[in-house]
Every structure is written in structure tokens, then in C-alpha cells.
Amino acid sequence: MKKKWVLIPIIALLLFVLHFFRDPEREIPLTGVVSPADGKIIAIELVKSGKIPVIEKNGEEIFLHDLKGYITEDCHLVAIFMSPFDVHVNRSPLKGTVSRVIYTEGEYHMATALALTNERNTIIIDGDTRLIVIQIAGKFVRRIQCFVREGFSIEKGERVGRIILGSQVVLILPETYTLTVAVGSHVKAGESVIALPPPHT
């Protein structure tokens, strides 16, 4: 009888692992920029272009040193928090070519708020426009997986990486794009449209 009770937590752990590493297929919409991650949108900010791009938040400036030279126009920043119960596979928001992958060591704050100083992996994608996907590690489990390298051609909705357990993904795209989501919106990677291009593109 005791052996059966011992098996319960083992089975529960196995079920959680299987649930966490699930990777369902998604229906990729033809139009719009799709979400790079499953989860809840926790922040939308304006990134001001310059020698070093900067975000002004609560009276403070957050400089994006990693992106020096890569942001040449004002942009939207959309941060998505992935709980341990979300699918953690990350997908490309648009078709393009991976022009740069930048890994940065950092801190390990909780990913429930914008955590741009945490350990992160930045994927710069150039297609019809330049998009930037930042995979950010969380406080407890610190493992970022990147499935692409510089020079890779990727399709919209294609898998580009995964982050283990609770974590965050940030998308940066030109301000000329119209966001279709707000803080608090829940999105699915590769399936939820989060922005539409300007009419002339």
C-alpha cells in the first residue's frame, strides 16, 4: 500500500513535465504580426530610437545597450509573461532572416514584471521590417534554448526557441505598426495577431 502512495508524486511530476514540454501545432494567420509566446501581456512601452535605444518608465530611463545600432526608429515593446502552465515554445512573429543572435548574461528577477536586466537571448529578424524577440530567463529556472542561428531563414510562426518554466518574452516592432492587444491580453504563440502593418506595406 505504501508503494502506491510513493508512486503518486512521481506520476504527478511526470504528468507536469509532459504538460510543460507540450508543443501543439498552431494555425498561423496569413496577415499580421503573431505573438512570439503564449501567456499574458504584462507591459507595453515605447522604445525611443537613438544612439542607445531607451524606454522611459515611471520617470526613469531604461537603456537597451544590447540593441545599440539595431533600432533606427521609435518602436513598440510588448512583454509577455509565460507562467509554468503556458506552452513555452517561442515562435517567429513574421517571415524573415535571423540577422543577429545576442546572448547576454544578467540578473534573475521575477519575470512577472518587465525584466530587461535578466539573463536574455536576443533574436533580430529582418524581413518586411525589423523585429526583435528577446527571450528572458526567470528567477528560479535559468535555461534559455535558442533553435536558430544567424543567417537562418524562418517562416512566420516557425519555432525559434523555448524557455524552461516561468519566464518572459519581449517583442519589439516599429511604432508604425498598430497594436491589436493591450496589457492583460492573453495570447498564443504563432496564432494570436498582436499587430497589423501600416496600410502601405
In whole angstroms, what is the distance from residue 84 CA to residue 102 CA?
Answer: 25
Q: Which of 65, 34, 64, 32 is nearest to 46 (CA)?
A: 64
In whole angstroms, what is the distance from residue 96 CA to residue 103 CA?
Answer: 20
Residue 72 vs residues 65, 69, 131, 175: alpha-carbon distances, Å: 14, 7, 12, 11
Q: What is the Cβ-side half-sphere exposure of residue 63, based on CA atoms within 13 angstroms?
A: 6
| Active-site residue flag, 167 | yes
Q: 35, 83, 92, 167: which is the annotated catalytic residue? A: 167
Is the distance from CB of 161 to CB of 152 less than 8 angstroms? no
What's the residue count for the chain?
Answer: 201
Is the distance from CB of 172 to CB of 187 less than 8 angstroms? no
> Which positions are annotated as active-site residues?
167
